[in-house]
Amino acid sequence: MLKGIGLPFTSRESRIEEELQPLSIPAHRQTGAPAIAIACLKANDVGKREKGRALIIAADTIVVMGKKVIGKPANREDAENILRLLSGKTHKVVTGVCILKMPGHVSFKFSVTTDVTMAKMTDRDIRWYLNTGEPMDKAGAYGIQGIGGIFVEKIRGSYTNVVGLPLPELLVALKKLRAIEMVG
């Protein structure tokens, strides 16, 4: 997504395990807190290996249904259960973003929430989609930017957030940090 908007970057993988399940959001916590926390863990993990000046952008996307937090499915059965849970209902997609300005401090962190309504999926739809393999590495067991998009009836909010990186909000943060300048 960064390449698509012309921002130069180098990709570094974090070694953080995204252990979310079973997790629920207590009433006193903000919905974005788990995603922000994991994004900051990822940024700090990468930051430990970086030398010199760098700007690290890390993100983590979760799906929230009621108070239940849903990450990536553990296996095919888990993916099937998640798709059944989301079928015909509206859920929240929350992406937490953490920007770390090296050396070593959090410069900006935020979350964005988008409401997504899924079409009612038949057992046959779910089996077919599972056979594509796409659900296995996606929060909520679907990818809106891929085959899973055919099951999305509507969204209210940011499409790029559902894909995994809320670009308009990221752009605002990068401008505030003076990490980018718009020319023209």
Q: CATH number for the domain including 160?
A: 3.90.950.10
Q: Which domain holds residue 96?
A: 19-176
- Residue 72 domain flag: yes
Enter the DSSP assignment of 119.
Answer: P
In a domain, 29, yes or no: yes
- Per-residue pLDDT at 180: 73
CB 43 within 8 A of CB 108: no
pTM (predicted TM-score): 0.85
The answer to whether residue 183 sits within a structural domain is no
Q: Does any domain span residue 6?
A: no
Nearest by Cα to 114 from 78, 84, 134, 139: 139
**Which of the residues are catalytic?**
60
Q: Indicate whether 184 belongs to any domain.
A: no
Structural domain contains residue 10? no
Average pLDDT per consecutive 10 residues, the chain (184 residues; last block may be shorter): 71 71 48 85 85 86 89 94 97 94 79 97 98 94 95 97 93 84 56
Within the chain, what is the greatest distance between any pair of CA atoms?
53
Asked if residue 12 belongs to a domain, the reply is: no
- Residue 181 counted as domain residue: no
